[in-house]
Amino acid sequence: MLYEPGKEYLMEARLLPLARAAGYADVDSYLPRIFSDHLERQRALDALTINETSWFRDNTPYQAFTDVILPELLKARAATRQISIWSAACSSGQEAYSLAMLLDQHLPGGWTARITATDVSTEMVARVTAGRYSQVEMNRGLPATQLIKHFTRVGAQWEISPRLRDMVQARTMNLAAPFPPLPRFDLVLLRNVLIYFDLDTKRDILRRVHAVTAPDGYLMLGTAETGLEAEQHWGRESVGRMQLLRPAPSATRIPPAVPATTLTGA
């Protein structure tokens, strides 16, 4: 989401429609509202990152999922034949549905997969539930064969098939706040979102994610995310070009915490 110097006009262009929708004549008069109003701030963030979401983003994590994680889970979960995945900070849902496409392709008969997709933005959650994407969004990293297999046209948009939409359950959730009741997850994707939090909150999130991850489960962060040297709840495992995090064994599984006195907004 980095805007190079000289491209401030891009930010201006993206914020102007929001400013107008909120009743302001220009971006300058709208800016204070972004800082004071959580919903407007989220809308602004969404608008500024509008070009960032691709299907199968960075590819490597999805390759790791197909080549390593899923085969391992198929062995480890043979008794229940259920796989549970969490796409945290799911945005408009390309990550969740990309996984759904891979599961549709590779999951054997008799198995079920559930993908929980969460985001702090109710608008994003509504988008995931609707499963509709614009043509420009459909161009981003989605193999054409997957497009025709899983999507149909609805007006100027493309809608994901009911079969895949049924795999994904989207709900609003603030990572910085205590988690609501969640299933135990075999795989958690927490990609490119921890960067928005301070160190203490980051650690707290990782601790609470650990509590809802199966002991033999996996955590994926963004491809460029590092800096967890002091992190006690997770150990690293290299898979090809990818670093996966596995829950560090702990004698006691720490239950979700009581809310802290201050919560940083997402």
* Bridge partner list, 109: none
Q: Classify residue 228 by its DSSP letter.
A: -
Cα gap 8→27, rounded to integer Å:
12
Nearer to other proteins, 9 or 230 (CB): 9
Instruction: For the CB of residue 51, give the shortest distance to other proteins in the complex, in Å.
Output: 7
Measured from the CB of residue 31, what is the shortest distance to other proteins in angstroms? 17
Please, which contacts does 250-257 make with residues 24 or more away whose CB atoms are closer than 8 Å? 250/210, 253/211, 254/207, 254/210, 254/211, 255/211, 256/178, 256/179, 256/208, 256/211, 257/178, 257/204, 257/207, 257/208
Which residue, 113 or 142, has its beta carbon nearer to other proteins? Answer: 142
Q: Which is nearer to other proteins, 126 or 199 (CB)?
A: 126
Q: Considering the complex, state which of residue 144 and residue 230 has its C-beta at the smaller distance from other proteins.
A: 144
User: Which C-beta is closer to other proteins: that of 105 or that of 152?
Assistant: 152
Residue 102 and residue 106: Cα distance in Å, rounded? 6
The H or E element that residue 159 is part of is: strand 157-160
**Chain centre to alpha carbon of residue 112:** 20
Comparing CB distances to other proteins, the nearer of 144 and 258 is 144
Q: Which two tokens stand for residue 231?
A: 């992190």
Q: Which is nearer to other proteins, 51 or 122 (CB)?
A: 51
In whole angstroms, how close is the CB of 65 to other proteins at the nearest point? Answer: 16
131: left (phi over 0), alpha (psi -120 to 50) or beta: left
Q: Which residues contact 203 (CB under 8 A, 6 or more apart)?
A: 230, 231
Indicate the helix (H) or strand (E) that contains 20: helix 8-21
Residue 66 CB, nearest approach to other proteins (Å): 15
Of 186, 24, 40, nearest to 103 by C-alpha is 186
Binding residues vs other proteins (CB under 8 A): 9-10, 13-14, 16-17, 20, 51, 54, 59, 134-136, 138-141, 143-145, 147-148, 151-153, 155-157
CB of 16 to other proteins, least distance (A): 6
Shortest distance in whole angstroms from residue 222 CB to other proteins: 17
Buried b (16+ CB within 10 A) or exposed e, 55-74: bbbbeebbbbbeebbbeebe
Could you tell me the smallest distance in angstroms from the CB atom of residue 156 to other proteins? 4
